[in-house]
Amino acid sequence: MKTEPKSRMTNQRRVILELVRSLHTHATADEIHRRVRERMPRISLGTVYRNLELLSAQGLVKKLEHTGAQRRYDGNLNFHYHLRCVQCGRVVDAPLEPMPQFLELVRSRTDFDILGYELEFQGLCPACRSSIQPLDKKGIKEDTHA
Amino acid sequence: MKTEPKSRMTNQRRVILELVRSLHTHATADEIHRRVRERMPRISLGTVYRNLELLSAQGLVKKLEHTGAQRRYDGNLNFHYHLRCVQCGRVVDAPLEPMPQFLELVRSRTDFDILGYELEFQGLCPACRSSIQPLDKKGIKEDTHA
DNA sequence: TTTGATGCAAAATATTTGCAGGATA
DNA sequence: TATCCTGCAAATATTTTGCATCAAA
């Protein structure tokens, strides 16, 4: 039923996919760009965005639009939840088993066509908890602790 | 323990708070600005952002950073979940009772300092489901159906 | 009066897009 | 060879901020 758009496996696309799959850090486009540039110095940020979007549409990576201001990308396609540090923005997998029964419950109670759900925990990571700087709700732009 | 910063209840702040409380639409800053401008034509978008930020820090409105690209604001402070239309971006309350037991479970399994969690469902709202236009993952910037 | 708040404009961020040339199938 | 893709730069979109002035307490 789906009309998959034809796509070409370019060097850029392959390297981006390999990188996102190898990272367990839920990196941002900018971080991915920096890492990929170590192998392909001329690759542009626009190309990274375009490829991440396409790979996400093809279901090869997961786009996380629910973890703070900046979008992040996950190479782990197994259904799981996330835990985000509200101080440094770092995202890790949450230690909680999937509970897909929510879907049926909500489906039976709404006239929306339910497609999925996201469960995200927020907290302070060990590094930020022990740091002196106060939690001021700002500057949660980039990972301080990679 | 908390050192609350002193703040003044200006006309702008009061009108913004009243509006967000009266809306059940989880509006964006831009939408709130447009609505407030009907009563205060000279109010700036920057003032709207500054006040929403301050009201959120004071716990008078809830900032939703987990519902797609654009930030939204909720005047309903009761703990509840959300359901977002992936086509038009509209956000409604999810028909599901709070299940705070997750928090303890995750707390016992992580070294993060757990502060809270968000549960968001995604789907197609009735209006979008029946519309002809295909779901193309773009243009989810503004509510088509208010 | 004191000092927090506003309006305005510019800056900072994050993401998308037009286009001409390049690479893949 | 057809057309998808890339690099580059410009354009969008969203949010934040500096500053002189205004206004709440």
pLDDT of residue A5: 61
Instruction: Report pLDDT digits (tens) over A106-115.
Output: 999 999 999 9
Q: How far apart are CA B39 and CA B33, in angstroms?
A: 10
Max mean pLDDT among A25-39, A115-129, B55-69 falls in A25-39
The answer to whether residue B60 scores a pLDDT higher than 70 is yes
Q: How far apart are CA A42 and CA A36, in angstroms?
A: 10
Q: Is A60 exposed, middle or buried (0-12, 13-18, 19+ CB in 10 A)?
A: middle
Residue found by looking up tokens 């109670």 in the block: A109
CB contact under 8 A, A110 and B123: yes
Of A57, A92, A113, the CB nearest to B123: A113
Instruction: Report pLDDT digits (tens) over A46-102.
Output: 999 999 999 999 999 999 986 566 899 999 999 999 999 888 888 999 999 999 888
Q: How far apart are CA A108 and CA A96, in angstroms?
A: 24
Q: How far apart are CA B132 and CA B99, in angstroms?
A: 37
Please state the rounded mean pLDDT for residues B73-101: 92
Please state the rounded mean pLDDT for residues B97-103: 90
Contact positions of strand C to protein Cβ (< 7 A): 4-10, 13-18, 23-25
Q: How confident is the model at residue B4 (pLDDT cuts 50, 70, 90)?
A: low
pLDDT of residue A143: 38
High-pLDDT (> 70) share of chain B, %:
84
Distance (Å) from CA A59 to C1' D9? 30
High-pLDDT (> 70) share of chain A, %:
84
Q: A110-113 long-range contacts, Cβ below 8 Å, gap at least 24?
A: A110/B83, A110/B94, A110/B95, A110/B123, A111/B126, A112/B83, A112/B85, A112/B92, A112/B121, A112/B123, A112/B124, A112/B125, A112/B126, A112/B129, A113/B123, A113/B124, A113/B129
| A16 contacts A49 by C-beta, under 8 angstroms | no
Residue among A55, A104, A112 with most chain B CBs within 10 A, to mutate: A112
pTM for the full predicted model: 0.84
Lowest mean pLDDT of B91-95, B108-112, B142-146, name the range. B142-146
Determine if strand C comes within 7 Å of the CB of A1.
Answer: no
